[in-house]
Amino acid sequence: MKDKDINQMFLSIGIKNTKHRRDIIKILDASNKPLSVEEIYLLLKENNSSINLSTVYRTMEKLIEKNIIIQNNPFNDNIYRYQMCKDKHRHHIVCIKCSKIVEIEECPFKDFEDKIKKETGFDIENHKFEIYGYCNNCKKNKE
């Protein structure tokens, strides 16, 4: 994501444009998997950008509120992970052993949502799907 686009984004959602926020957006945008606050914090440090953990947390909160990112459920470790809301709705598969995360091409739940809506009467807003297994490397020695 280019600086110009990032500036434009902050302007359009009406939040202040700070270096920390630009850096965080770049990191999330460049990542091919959801990142935890800790991971973002460490990546920022590597890039010589000194930042406080609470600031990362507060930025996540703000970006969720503005629908720029979404918060994923913890896998099994009680740690939230975050990813950009891309145009396309995405799911991921997670390796139980090495925690490798791979994006899944398609989301097959639209039809299912309609069905559930009829069955339960709920107005459906969102869903989360996570799938677990052993990746190519780890499946040889599942231990």
Partner DNA sequence: CCTTAAATGCGAATCGTTTGCATTTTTGTC
Partner DNA sequence: GACAAAAATGCAAACGATTCGCATTTAAGG
Non-local (6+) Cβ contacts of 136 within 8 A are none
The window from 10-18, 25-33, 110-118, 129-137 that contacts DNA (CB under 7 A) reads 10-18
Task: With beta carbons less than 8 A apart as the criterion, state whether 135 and 102 touch.
Answer: yes
The window from 54-62, 106-114, 124-132, 133-141 that contacts DNA (CB under 7 A) reads 54-62
Burial of 4 (0-12, 13-18, 19+ CB in 10 A): exposed
Task: With beta carbons less than 8 A apart as the criterion, state whether 132 and 100 touch.
Answer: no
CB 126, min distance to DNA, A: 18
Beta carbon nearer to DNA, 120 or 126: 126
Task: Name the residue among 22, 17, 128, 110 with its Cα closest to residue 70.
Answer: 128
Look at residue 125 and give the partner it binds from its own copies, DNA, none, a contact being a CB closer than 5 to 8 Å depending on partner kind: its own copies
Beta carbon nearer to its own copies, 46 or 125: 125
Beta carbon nearer to its own copies, 10 or 82: 82
Q: Which residues bind DNA (CB under 7 A)?
A: 10, 15-21, 36-38, 50-55, 57-62, 74, 78-80
